[in-house]
Chain A
């Protein structure tokens, strides 16, 4: 049985995107919100976290178990072992 990687709103899975701009209007939680780091004025660690979540947005939407996502998050945010 699969488990969710993050707590997402299940009613929003696989919604079509309506805008290819900087911030994705997918409304599937924090994980999916931003793809243009600079435009959002975030600190580098938060920017890196947002970009990783943007890249993994399909996994996050589907609630896919994805160990690579967590590894990348640790790698990009400097919190590796």
Chain B
């Protein structure tokens, strides 16, 4: 029996995915906005018990190295700042939306370790390239979200894809295209649209294995797709998920050239991502 997925089935499964918590949607919408009502956001995060407790645990973790106990979301906002709080809450909210039981066959721990590594690499690269760091972090965190949807929505077909990947020792994207007839980048773009992400994030998630030189705003040059494509490669290369059969996907030389990262800056990104990764995973209990 063929494991190829019918496009309409994929669309149906994506539309059945649970909505992200409202506060996470609000935080995602506020990415890139400067006039955000910080007090209101902090109050709303406080009302989501699971999100608030994860946010506080992270704020108190060694990742942020606070000298005193952070006891409230308002406290966390004033100490960490809105941008950090937003990243923390989005990370906690998205991670909490997919439970291990919903994705048989997928090593969820390795999945999130890689996603966090990509987020940290993307943010560090955005900083040196003067791109939006928050969008970069969020994008890195969510770039492989299509893999979760394939694993949870089509467990039998996904298991067949994993077998094919193991036998052929090929990149997951190739195995998905051969076995499923679609891939996690395409499905990820559909999820991003379903969750009403900003068009730039949708395009970057859908294009993270095939980055294009024009971003969603039509501006030529290095795009968010380029950034997350390279961050994804760096995260695999740094081996932060410690998966025995991990593999660095094909690199787009065009994207690499457009980012034009000097070696000294790359090394800075490598070191920073390695230092921050363990603490952030620990804080998020991943």
A8 at the interface (CB under 8 A from B): no
Chain B, interface size category, equals: 20 to 34
Asked whether B168 lies within 8 Å of A55 as measured between CB atoms, the reply is no
A65 at the interface (CB under 8 A from B): yes
Asked whether B167 lies within 8 Å of A35 as measured between CB atoms, the reply is no
CB-contact partner of A58 in B247, B253, B270, under 8 A: B247
Asked whether B263 lies within 8 Å of A68 as measured between CB atoms, the reply is no
Asked whether A81 lies within 8 Å of B264 as measured between CB atoms, the reply is yes
Residues of A within 8 A of B (CB): 14, 16-17, 20, 24, 26, 35-36, 51-52, 55-59, 62, 64-69, 71-72, 74-75, 80-81
CB-contact partner of A16 in B167, B246, B251, B253, under 8 A: B167
Report 29 cross-chain contacts, Cβ distance below 8 Å, ordered by A residue: A14-B168, A16-B168, A17-B167, A26-B169, A35-B245, A36-B244, A52-B237, A55-B237, A55-B239, A55-B246, A56-B237, A56-B248, A57-B169, A58-B170, A58-B171, A58-B247, A58-B249, A62-B250, A64-B250, A65-B253, A68-B230, A68-B234, A68-B237, A68-B256, A74-B263, A75-B267, A80-B263, A81-B264, A81-B267
Q: How far is the CB of B161 from chain A (nearest CB, A)?
A: 15
A-B contacts, CB under 8 A, total: 70
A55-B246, A67-B256, A68-B234 known, 17 other contacts, Cβ within 8 Å: A14-B168, A16-B167, A16-B168, A17-B169, A20-B244, A35-B245, A51-B239, A56-B248, A57-B169, A62-B250, A64-B251, A66-B248, A71-B263, A75-B267, A75-B270, A80-B263, A81-B264
Q: How far is the CB of A32 from chain B (nearest CB, A)?
A: 10
B233 at the interface (CB under 8 A from A): yes
Residues of B within 8 A of A (CB): 166-171, 230, 233-234, 236-239, 244-251, 253, 256, 263-264, 266-267, 270
* A62 CB contacts on chain B under 8 angstroms: 250
* A58 CB contacts on chain B under 8 angstroms: 170-171, 247-250
Q: How far is the CB of B217 from chain A (nearest CB, A)?
A: 27
Asked whether B244 lies within 8 Å of A35 as measured between CB atoms, the reply is yes
